[in-house]
Structure 1
Amino acid sequence: MKSAALIPARFASTRLPAKLVQDLGGKTVIQRTYLSTVATRVFDEVWVVTDHEEIANQIKALNGHVFFSQKNHESGSDRIAEALEQVDAELIVNVQGDEPFQDRKSLNDLVDSFLNEEVQIASLKTKISEDEAQNPNFVKVVTDVNDDALYFSRSPIPYNREKIRDLLYWKHVGIYGYRRAALLAYTQMKRGKLESIEMLEQLRLLENGFKIRMVETNHKTVAIDTAEDLARARVILGLKKG
């Protein structure tokens, strides 16, 4: 089954303007994300899907694949779906453009989950503490006995009514894998009520009856949303070089 990683790369950003073109050790954030995804050697192809010429030019400078988005999109999944006009793959993985340190094992485990023909959509989860679960910027997920997502929330779920010690919480890691038909189906769905309340695009899938298989990872992603995140990524890059 041919696989492709598609990296949505919107130029506009709120908390850190133009974050994807910020310098990160001599290369930009989006260049680091692209190169680290290629370096995993998990995918047959890696593409950056962007709405901005500067980002496109930076990836072309690396001899990378670029799809230039012609439409406005509400989510990264909508953006990469447009690129299916040009990308010929059955398995599509949405890699976040602001996460420059991609992990081979996590991505390989995600892809391997599709060896089960019942799996149409998959994503990643990682363990977090109860204190971390209180952070609304960390999206939590609860699953059924098959590791399919029951719900995602910015609130700590499950609610610890009995004050159980060391209750296990799972943070959603926002990398998605789709079979081609499932991604195209997603683009035909209207934004749901729960998605609008929580501002979480994956709830659109659950509201429309799709299952999302959750795959455990121990990899701690570094998402760059603020100047502080960028500074931390520079430190991590320095440690890796050292």
Structure 2
Amino acid sequence: MTSTADFIVAIPARHAASRLPGKPLRRIGEDPLVLHVARRALAAGARQVVVATDDARIAEALAGQPVTVCMTDPDLASGSDRIAACADQLGWDEATVVVNLQGDEPFAPPEGIRAVAELLEDAGTEMATLAAPFTDTETLFDPNAVKVVADAQGHALYFSRAPIPWHRDRMAQDQLSPLEPGWLRHIGIYAYRVGFLRRFTALPPARLERLEALEQLRVLEAGYRIAVAPTPVAFPPGVDTPADLERAERHWLEIAAAAPI
């Protein structure tokens, strides 16, 4: 892929998460989760890192960091809407490449963040994202683990919470182990240009989006293309629940223990 140095990372960070209220401020080690995410974005080489939030406490948690905080309306429906509001407030040019990094990804690898920005430039599509093979059947059938199917050119055909594609013979015989590479887990990181972000967020929620509760389906249903490529490095799971937070804390302690003194 082409090396891309000129991109912005925008991190939506809403305080009122339903499964883990106050999630951006929950601690991993000594620091709030949102600060961990921001540091990952800074390590990726973005020319600007923006946290799009609806709560002054999140802004306060980032005080003194080389991060731009953009205050947005708490009633905005999605992270993409929040980033679009920041684009207007901060006067981003239509051609600016923005990586939407979810605010619950404290261990997002910088290489993966850069890779999705590079993919957008190389693919020439309206949007870009990453995927990785599933490694276990439990996660394959977990509706919180989103699946993606792509065509031969690497363009997304569909995203679903269901296990797609449905392998008729192996599913019928319950012979899923070992898993084949054909099942791909969607990694919820996106890249798009500001001009497309504005067009996308101006569209009404689509039928498929409402059914699956996946906003990227609005893009496909409107006839736009999303490039999908394998992530160059693993993305550890994000933080959605109290159990996820406990797992993230253990992972952080393992990282700290392995760090050179």
TM-score (norm 2): 0.88
Q: 2:125 pairs with 114, 119, 125, which one?
A: 119
Structure 2: distance between partners of 1:181 and 1:57: 30
1:109 Cα deviation after fit: 1.5
Give yes or no for contact 1:192–1:203 (8 Å, CA) kept in 2: yes
Preserved contact between residue 129 and residue 169 of structure 1 (Cα < 8 Å): no
Measured in 1, the distance between the counterparts of 2:11 and 2:107 equals 13
Q: Match of 1:35? A: 39
Matched residue SS, 1:233: helix
Q: Is the 8 A contact 1:60 1:66 kept in 2?
A: no
Instruction: Using the TM superposition, give the Cα deviation of residue 14 of structure 1 relative to its aligned residue in structure 2, in angstroms.
Output: 1.3
Number of the residue aligned with 1:73: 76
Which amino acid is the alignment partner of residue 240 of structure 1?
Answer: I
Kept after mapping to 2: 8 A contact 1:130/1:169: no
Is 1:96 aligned with 2:111?
A: no
* 1:22-62 C-alpha deviation (Å, 9 max, x unpaired): 11111000111111211222x11101000000001111232
Partner of 1:171: 185
Could you tell me which residue of structure 2 aligns to residue 150 of structure 1?
A: 157
Deviation, structure 1 residue 117: 6.1
Q: 1:71 to 1:238 in 2, by over 3 A?
A: closer
Aligned with 1:60: secondary structure?
Answer: coil
* TM-superposed deviation, 1:63: 4.2
Distance change >3 Å, CA 159–CA 239, structure 1 → 2: same
Aligned residues: 241
Measured in 2, the distance between the counterparts of 1:44 and 1:68 equals 20
**Match of residue 28 from structure 2:** 24
Q: CA deviation at 1:115?
A: 2.9
The 1-side partners of 2:205 and 2:114 are apart by: 30
List structure 1 runs of 4+ shifted beyond 6 angstroms.
none
1:114 Cα deviation after fit: 2.7
For 1:87 and 1:139, how far apart are their aligned partners in 2?
33
Q: 1:82 aligns with which of 79, 82, 85?
A: 85
Counterpart of 1:152 in 2: which secondary structure?
strand
RMSD over aligned Cα atoms: 1.6
Find out whether 1:191 has 2:195 as its counterpart. Answer: no
Question: Residue deviations 1:62-106, cap 9 Å, x none?
Answer: 242101113621111111011002053510110000111121221
- Cα separation, 2, equivalents of 1:196 and 1:88: 29
In 2: Cα distance, 1:237 partner to 1:141 partner:
29
d(CA) in 2 for partners of 1:38 and 1:55? 17
Q: Is residue 202 from structure 1 mapped to residue 208 from structure 2 by the alignment?
A: no
> Percent identity of the aligned residues?
33
Q: What SS class does the counterpart of residue 8 from structure 2 fall into?
A: strand
Structure 1 position 213, deviation (Å): 0.3
Q: Which amino acid aligns with 1:129?
A: T
Structure 2 residue 234 is matched with structure 1 residue 219: yes
Letter of the 2:195 partner, please give it. Answer: A
- Where structure 2 has 5 or more consecutive residues not aligned to the other structure, the ranges are none
